[in-house]
Amino acid sequence: MHPNLTATAGVHRRYNPLTREWILVSPHRMERPWLGQVEAVPAEARPAYDPDCYLCPGNVRASSERNPDYQETLVFDNDFSALLPRAEGVSQAARMQSTLLVHHPERGLCRVVCFSPRHDLSLAELPQEQIRQVVDVWVQQYVELGVLPFINYVQVFENKGEMMGASNPHPHGQIWANETVPTEVRKEDTAQNDYLHEAGRCLLCEYLALELIEGQRVVLENEGFLVVVPFWATWPFETLVLSKRHTPSLAHLYDSERDALADILKRLTMRYDNLFQVSFPYSMGFHQQPTDGQRHPAWHLHAHFYPPLLRSAAVRKFMVGYEMLAQPQRDLTAEAAAARRRGQE
Enzyme catalytic residues: 172
Q: Is 60 helix (H, G, I), strand (E, B) or coil?
A: strand
Query: Could you give the CA distance from residue 293 to residue 181 in angstroms, rounded to a whole number?
Result: 13
Contacts of 55 by beta carbon, 8 Å cutoff, 6+ apart: 61, 67, 74, 112, 114, 119, 168, 170, 172
Query: Could you give the CA distance from residue 271 to residue 220 in angstroms, rounded to a whole number?
Result: 10
Determine the Cα angle at 232 with ends 270 and 183, to 5°.
Answer: 95
Q: Is 99 helix (H, G, I), strand (E, B) or coil?
A: coil
Query: Could you give the CA distance from residue 293 to residue 72 in angstroms, rounded to a whole number?
Result: 32
Residue 65 is classified by DSSP as P
Q: How many residues does the chain have?
A: 345
Strand order in the sheet with 21-25: 12-16, 21-25, 329-330
Q: Which of 43, 42, 46, 12 is nearest to 26 (CA)?
A: 12
User: How many Cα neighbours within 13 Å face the side chain of 325?
Assistant: 3
Q: What is the DSSP secondary-structure string of 214-263?
A: H-TTEEEE-SSEEEE--TT--STT-EEEEESS--SSGGG--HHHHHHHHH
Query: Could you give the CA distance from residue 91 to residue 233 in angstroms, rounded to a whole number?
Result: 41
Q: Exposed, middle or buried by CB within 10 Å (0-12, 13-18, 19+), for 323?
A: middle
